């Protein structure tokens, strides 16, 4: 597709917004020539094409007569918006109303991203404000340019601080990796979001929770919500992931703040490496691991105390509990992945266990790798329609040995190393969590966090502003 070649778009009713967003993401004018919204069933195998014949002039005019009003291409920085009021409160209210009118807000109160505030946020990086971030340098589907400055604006809107910016930048870099497929995650009908797990001392320094309530709000650990919300604002305002126009997520749950938390490294047994160490980083390296998830399931581990016990648990019963909780919500993506042959290193969610559960496994002789191998071999999906018959067909075709073993029951993983286990949560051990994998095409990514030269000064200022950190 090139500028100057007559082009038009035939789109299904209800998809005009997402189509124009994608058109803009390819570098075309945002006034993409959507000539007609056709009935949705036109695009099915049984669709009645006669409606096109009846209105063929619309199609031919779109290909021969339509011209865009905007003729030039390029990157144009937006003008500053000035909002006034008789006093600060009125100006603040008008700011929030204006942001909602232009679809720049998320429905919650926003902090004014003034030039002074954004410059303050930019003190959190040594990168130039105009530097583009990541492989694409833009967020899809809209294709808005992803710069350090635009992320700083999003963080200012979310009430963030400069010491959060290095984590947010690494978060965005991970999402920019092609195998993460953020363009699909942002636009799919699945209600998926990017979960971010932080390793390294930076988590404690910026007050990022790994303990009680780490998926939710905590005034002692404000970084979790601010960083996650800033990413969502960036996905929306830069990437165009707005409901029904850029994102077709049916429900969109957990999208106000995504999910950002730290791994409880202090609670890890000696033979349980961090997520970062499993991917080749040394202990103490600051990293973010980002994975697409679509739900959070609580796993009740009370009542698993029948002998033999280790740390109050029957470990074998506990593993079977994990297996059951992981298999049921994973069916939607697992089934799709295997039917389409998309099986390269796919995620199947994140199992999050509290420190005393990890300790019990370790005392019972189970390394983290042992648990991952067990789940790889045993966490399988059995009761899917026609899967047994389909597996038999693959066996007869000689295509059933992709894993060197049977495809039925369907495994959730292609390799033990694909199993993601994080240690986090409070010091109680009655509950675990399973973050269901979001999209069958997204593969988790990890990036190192780059701290600025003035890092110590930023942390010291945070101590002044927020008070001493809770140890």
pLDDT of residue 331: 55
Query: What's the DSSP call for residue 107?
Result: S
pLDDT of residue 391: 62
Q: Indicate the SS3 state at residue 265.
A: helix
Percent of the chain with pLDDT over 70: 76
Q: Indicate the SS3 state at residue 422.
A: strand
pLDDT of residue 174: 97
Residue with tokens 């340098």: 137
CA distances to 125, 196, 271, 284 from 452, in Å: 5, 21, 32, 17
With a cut of 50, which residues of the chain have pLDDT below it? 1-3, 336, 339-341, 343-345, 400-404
Phi, psi of 357, rounded to the nearest 5 degrees: -70, -45
**CA nearest to 195, candidates 434, 381, 440, 448:** 434
Residue with tokens 């969109």: 252
**CA nearest to 122, candidates 160, 83, 92:** 160
**Integer Cα distance of 208 and 260 in angstroms:** 8
**Integer Cα distance of 299 and 352 in angstroms:** 10
Phi, psi of 145, rounded to the nearest 5 degrees: -70, 125
Query: What's the DSSP call for residue 164?
Result: G
CB 43 within 8 A of CB 12: yes
**Integer Cα distance of 142 and 242 in angstroms:** 10
CB 209 within 8 A of CB 226: no
Element (H, E) at 226: helix 223-237
CB 368 within 8 A of CB 267: no
**Integer Cα distance of 215 and 297 in angstroms:** 12
Query: What's the DSSP call for residue 281?
Result: P
Residue 214, token pair as written in the block: 């780490």
Please, is 75 exposed, middle or buried when counting C-beta atoms within 10 Å of its C-beta (0-12, 13-18, 19+)? exposed
Phi, psi of 223, rounded to the nearest 5 degrees: -70, -35
């Amino acid at each position: 597709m090139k500028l100057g070649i007559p082009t038009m778009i035939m789109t299904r009713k209800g998809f005009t917004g997402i189509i124009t967003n994608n058109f803009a993401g390819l570098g075309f004018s945002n006034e993409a020539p959507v000539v007609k919204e056709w009935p949705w069933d036109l695009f099915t195998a049984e669709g009645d094409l006669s409606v096109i014949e009846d209105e063929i002039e619309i199609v031919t005019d779109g290909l021969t007569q339509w011209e865009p009003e905007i003729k030039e291409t390029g990157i144009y920085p937006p003008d500053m918006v000035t909002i006034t009021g008789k006093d600060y409160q009125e100006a603040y209210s008008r700011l929030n109303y204006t942001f909602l009118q232009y679809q720049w807000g998320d429905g919650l109160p926003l902090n004014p991203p003034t030039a002074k505030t954004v410059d303050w946020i930019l003190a959190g990086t040594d990168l130039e404000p105009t530097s583009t971030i990541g492989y694409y340098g833009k967020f899809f589907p809209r294709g808005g340019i992803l710069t350090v400055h635009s992320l700083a604006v999003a963080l200012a809107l979310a009430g963030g601080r400069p010491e959060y910016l290095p984590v947010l930048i690494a978060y965005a870099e991970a999402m920019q990796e092609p195998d993460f497929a953020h363009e699909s995650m942002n636009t799919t009908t699945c209600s998926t979001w990017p979960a971010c797990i932080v390793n390294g001392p930076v988590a404690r320094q910026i007050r990022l929770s790994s303990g009680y309530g780490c998926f939710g709000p905590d005034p002692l650990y404000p970084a979790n919500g601010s960083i996650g919300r800033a990413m969502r604002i960036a996905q929306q305002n830069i990437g165009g992931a707005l409901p029904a126009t850029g994102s077709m997520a049916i429900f969109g749950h957990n999208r106000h703040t995504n999910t950002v938390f730290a791994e409880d490294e202090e609670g890890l047994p000696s033979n349980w490496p961090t997520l970062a160490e499993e991917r080749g980083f040394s202990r103490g390296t600051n990293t973010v691991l980002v994975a697409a998830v679509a739900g959070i399931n609580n796993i009740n581990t009370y009542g698993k105390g029948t002998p033999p016990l280790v740390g109050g648990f029957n470990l074998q019963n506990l593993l079977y509990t994990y297996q059951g909780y992981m298999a049921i919500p994973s069916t939607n993506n697992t089934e799709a992945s295997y039917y389409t042959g998309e099986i390269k290193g796919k995620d199947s969610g994140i199992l999050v266990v509290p420190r005393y559960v990890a300790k019990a496994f370790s005392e019972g002789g189970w390394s983290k790798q042992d648990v991952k191998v067990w789940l790889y071999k045993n966490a399988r999906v059995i009761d899917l329609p026609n899967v047994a018959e389909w597996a038999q067909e693959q066996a007869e075709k000689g295509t059933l040995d992709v894993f060197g073993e049977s495809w039925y029951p369907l495994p959730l993983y292609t390799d033990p190393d694909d199993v993601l286990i994080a240690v986090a949560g409070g010091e109680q051990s009655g509950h675990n969590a399973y973050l269901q994998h979001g999209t069958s095409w997204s593969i988790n990514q990890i990036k190192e966090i780059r701290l600025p030269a003035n890092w110590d000064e930023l942390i010291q200022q945070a101590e002044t502003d927020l008070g001493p950190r809770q140890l």
